[in-house]
Chains A and B, each alone.
Chain A
Amino acid sequence: SAVISQKPSRDICQRGTSLTIQCQVDSQVTMMFWYRQQPGQSLTLIATANQGSEATYESGFVIDKFPISRPNLTFSTLTVSNMSPEDSSIYLCSARSTGVDGYTFGSGTRLTVV
């Protein structure tokens, strides 16, 4: 199955700034997703990153706050914009390859907003 690299692995950011998280997959994948996981909680799906078109956002998440790019079949970025302390969380990238049973997840980006 695919291997996912996420950068950065962690960051501490000032409120009001933006952070872009990169997700690189070692092979072409059909689907990519972005999740958020708050401390001690389960994963919440933010959006599906669509190759060559706008991402599909879940209820409660908007493009202005979490712009997503997916320029090709192996790479995606998630930007957390105009950050506040409430955005402090772990952000994870996930991908699925055709013909592969499971979905692969990155190790996550631990974001702290101060």
Chain B
Amino acid sequence: DAKTTQPNSMESNEEEPVHLPCNHSTISGTDYIHWYRQLPSQGPEYVIHGLTSNVNNRMASLAIAEDRKSSTLILHRATLRDAAVYYCILRVPFGSSNTGKLIFGQGTTLQVKP
């Protein structure tokens, strides 16, 4: 399984943008880049995913490097409720022997200061 590398922790001020980086230099051409977050005492929550193009949804934006070896999750205005562990995950395509499973790395713990 292709691996991702993220900083262990990051800090942000409330209402400022946050850029969470992820390196995935061994990504294959068909791996999807997924981001999940885990709030304290909860299961992980889907944030966003993409393949090649940048993506936006109501929660965040995902910027994918042209060579796909790295990506950045962007929270446009951090709130205290965004304090969580953020996981960058490479998901193999469905129909492969790995059945689209998600393999979690260590993630980035985001602290948001008021």
Contact = CB atoms under 8 A, between A and B. Distances in A.
Contacts of A96: 100
B43 A105 contact: yes
B104 A1 contact: no
B53 to A, nearest CB: 14
Contacts of A94: 43-44, 102
Nearest to A104: B46
A106 B34 CA distance: 18
7 contacts: A31-B99, A35-B104, A43-B104, A45-B102, A48-B101, A101-B49, A103-B36
Interface of A: 1, 4, 31, 33, 35, 42-45, 48, 56, 92, 94, 96, 101-108
Given A42-B104, A94-B43, A108-B43, 10 more contacts: A31-B99, A45-B102, A48-B99, A56-B99, A92-B43, A94-B102, A102-B46, A102-B47, A105-B45, A107-B43
Interface of B: 34, 36, 41-47, 49, 85, 87, 99-107
B87 A42 contact: yes
A25 B41 CA distance: 20
A2 to B, nearest CB: 11
A32 to B, nearest CB: 11
B43 A106 contact: yes
B99 A103 contact: no
A42 B43 CA distance: 11
A40 B78 CA distance: 23
Contacts of B106: 42
Given A45-B101, A94-B102, A107-B43, A102 B49 contact: yes
